[in-house]
Structure 1
Amino acid sequence: MAYLAAVAVLVGLLVVTNLIFTVGVVRRLREHTAELAALRDGGSGGVDVAMPAGSSVDGFDATSVADLPVSLATLGERPLVGFFSPSCQPCKERLPSFVEYAATRPGGRDAVLAVTVGTREETAALVELLRPVATVVVEADRGPVQQAFGVTGFPAFVLVEEGVVAASGYELAPVVDRDAVALPAAG
């Protein structure tokens, strides 16, 4: 009988311990769910993924996949810049819209920069989609172009006017809207 009582107490302790861990896991999942909902509903959920409007872009030097030098000066006065990671699901969702807009943007591919983050092998599929519409740079995480634009998340879209960020964000639409307003004036 003593063994049964000991086993019952041990099982009870295990159940209580399991319940405590389960409550902790559920609490953490709720926090993650709230963070993901904020990202989906509000762009970056209040967190800048690149320099905010009004910031000056630092200089950078990079090399495109076509082995051409790339800097802020080579992109003209009003470049559109997109940052993508091959492992990022939101990047995959926003990529077709970026490609479609870049294909019709005045200035052509020389005024659009697409930065893919990873190795050439990891980013090969992204590069193939972006090459027809943009100057493409492949760089490691936290590379010089990302640092110049203060990129902290993916995807990130930035519109630059004369070296200053005119619009930036996790969503492409606000950046495109700002670009559309400025295009007639720049024309």
Structure 2
Amino acid sequence: MTVLAIAVTLFGVLSLFNLLLALGLARKLRQGSAEPAHAHAPFPAGAFASTGGGSSKAPALSAGTPLPHASELGHDGRPLLVGFFSSTCKACPEHLPRFREFAETFPGDAVAVLNGDPDALKSYVAALGPGIRNVSDTTAHGLLSDAVELRAWPSFVIADAGGGVRTTGLDVRLLDLSGVHAPQVVSEIAAGAGSR
């Protein structure tokens, strides 16, 4: 009788332990799905930055290709950083501060192309701040995001001073800036170095 009582007690304890593990795993999986996929495993540097045709998800523009609708984006002969953001994109809000920080040190102009509900995009405009020009994705010629063959939100494009695409990517921090410079910025740096 004692052996039976011990066996039943042991079975009950193991069942309770199994239930607690299952509940903990379910809670962990539910929490994990709310986090971005790259939160714990960042992509290696350059994984999505490309001077070629981009990755399978980055805008499908090849290096040297003229940036579609560059004049509508405000291209004025300086390098241009373009970020594409959508109100329906779950990852976009976390990329807005990164884009703003990157734009502050970018040797050219920056513009954010905003797609979606204007009321929902008000928080995007506030997060970007006054230094970044915002334009609507919708133009007289259609969607800018369609013109650059956008495949994922957010996406980023850098055009050089001549209006040719230099690089595209899905994370602004991984864009390749080699060869992107504004002539007036370079001359200012050279003049500053010569005066020392």
In the superposition, the TM-score normalised over structure 2's length comes to: 0.57
Q: Which residue of 2 aligns with 1:164?
A: 164
117-126 or 47-56, larger mean C-alpha shift? 47-56
2:135 and 2:88 map into 1 onto residues whose CA distance is: 17
128-137 or 39-48, larger mean C-alpha shift? 39-48
Give the aligned residue type for 1:77. R
Shift of 1:159: 0.4
1:43–1:90 distance in 2 versus 1, CA, 3 Å: farther
Q: Which residue of 2 aligns with 1:59?
A: 69
Q: Which residue of 2 aligns with 1:65?
A: none
Establish whether residue 85 from structure 1 lines up as the match of residue 67 from structure 2: no
Structure having the higher Rg: 2
Q: Which residue of 1 aligns with 2:57?
A: 48
Specify every segment of 5 or more residues in structure 1 that has no aligned partner in the other structure, as ranges: 1-32, 61-69
**Where do residues 14-25 of structure 1 align in structure 2 (5 Å cutoff)?**
none
Aligned residue pairs total 137
1:53 and 1:92 map into 2 onto residues whose CA distance is: 28
- Asked whether the equivalents of residues 115 and 137 of structure 1 are also in contact (C-alpha less than 8 Å), the reply is yes
Give the aligned residue type for 2:63. A
Specify every segment of 5 or more residues in structure 2 that has no aligned partner in the other structure, as ranges: 1-32, 187-196
Q: Deviations over 1:37-93 (max 9, x none)?
A: 7x9634499413212323222236xxxxxxxxx625544331110011123232222
Counterpart secondary structure, 1:183: coil
CA RMSD of aligned residues (A): 3.3
- Asked whether the equivalents of residues 107 and 182 of structure 2 are also in contact (C-alpha less than 8 Å), the reply is no
Q: Which residue of 2 aligns with 1:154?
A: 153
1:144–1:75 distance in 2 versus 1, CA, 3 Å: farther
- Asked whether the equivalents of residues 123 and 138 of structure 1 are also in contact (C-alpha less than 8 Å), the reply is no
Give the aligned residue type for 1:76. G
Greater fraction of residues in helix: 1
Shift of 1:129: 1.8
- Asked whether the equivalents of residues 98 and 172 of structure 1 are also in contact (C-alpha less than 8 Å), the reply is yes
Counterpart secondary structure, 2:104: helix
2:180 and 2:68 map into 1 onto residues whose CA distance is: 22
2:74 and 2:115 map into 1 onto residues whose CA distance is: 22
Counterpart secondary structure, 2:120: coil
Q: Which residue of 1 aligns with 2:180?
A: 182
1:57 and 1:71 map into 2 onto residues whose CA distance is: 10
Identical aligned residues as a percent: 28
